[in-house]
Every structure is written in structure tokens, then in C-alpha cells.
């Protein structure tokens, strides 16, 4: 049962434009959400997170938005750069569980 879903397996964006990566979840107990970036043959690297008490968190070019009522979060990358080309995973966890739940990932390609 997939509790965290990334319905777009891939996304292509022109360099300099905005990349928007989406993630949906089903478990209303999730209270902390994370985004990871993964290059081929490497482990995922932590990018940015957001607590359920917030609806936005920003770090440089990366902003995560959380819509709790829709059980939806998104990662915005502005401006997109070719080095951002990677697979992006969203993850969720709660203070009642023992694990992190990951989506299947979205492969972002930024075209120079």
C-alpha cells in the first residue's frame, strides 16, 4: 500500500524556468515531509523538509509547499539549472511510526 505517491515519473524543464515536482500522501498522521535528490549510482541526498505546522519552507532556489487538506506537497525549483537533473523523492513520517515512507520518484531533466 503506497502511502506516498509521485504520479509523474518524469519532468522536463527549460533551464531558467520553474520546476514543480508533486507528491501526494494518504496518511493523515504524517507530520513531517522531506525531499531528496538522487543522482545515478549515488544515495539520495536530503534537500529540504517541512513540518505540518507550516505550509511553506524555503531554502535558496528550493521551496516546499504543503497543503494538508489536500494531502499534497510540492517542490519548486527556481530557476532550474542543468545540475538539478536528477531523480527527486518525497518522503513522509509521523511521530507515531518507526519509518519513513518514500514515493517512487520523479526524474527531472533540465534542458540547457
Q: Closest separation between CB of residue 105 and other proteins, Å?
A: 8
Nearer to other proteins among residue 3 and residue 74 (C-beta): 3
Q: Which of 49, 57, 74, 109 binds other proteins (CB under 8 A)?
A: 49
Cell numbers 549515488 label which residue? Answer: 42
Per CB under 8 A, 93 contacts other proteins: yes
Binding-site string for other proteins from residue 29 to residue 48, where x marks contact by CB under 8 A and - marks none = --xx-x-x----xxxxxx--
Amino acid at each position: 500500500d503506497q502511502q506516498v505517491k509521485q504520479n509523474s515519473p518524469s519532468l522536463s524543464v527549460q533551464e531558467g524556468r520553474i520546476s514543480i515536482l508533486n507528491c501526494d500522501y494518504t496518511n493523515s498522521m504524517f507530520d513531517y515531509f522531506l525531499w531528496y535528490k538522487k543522482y545515478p549510482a549515488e544515495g539520495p541526498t536530503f534537500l529540504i523538509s517541512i513540518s505540518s505546522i507550516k505550509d511553506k519552507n524555503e531554502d535558496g532556489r528550493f521551496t516546499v509547499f504543503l497543503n494538508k487538506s489536500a494531502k499534497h506537497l510540492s517542490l519548486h525549483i527556481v530557476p532550474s539549472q542543468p545540475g538539478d537533473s536528477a531523480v527527486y523523492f518525497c518522503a513522509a513520517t509521523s511521530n507515531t511510526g518507526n519509518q519513513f515512507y518514500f514515493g517512487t520518484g520523479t526524474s527531472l531533466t533540465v534542458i540547457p
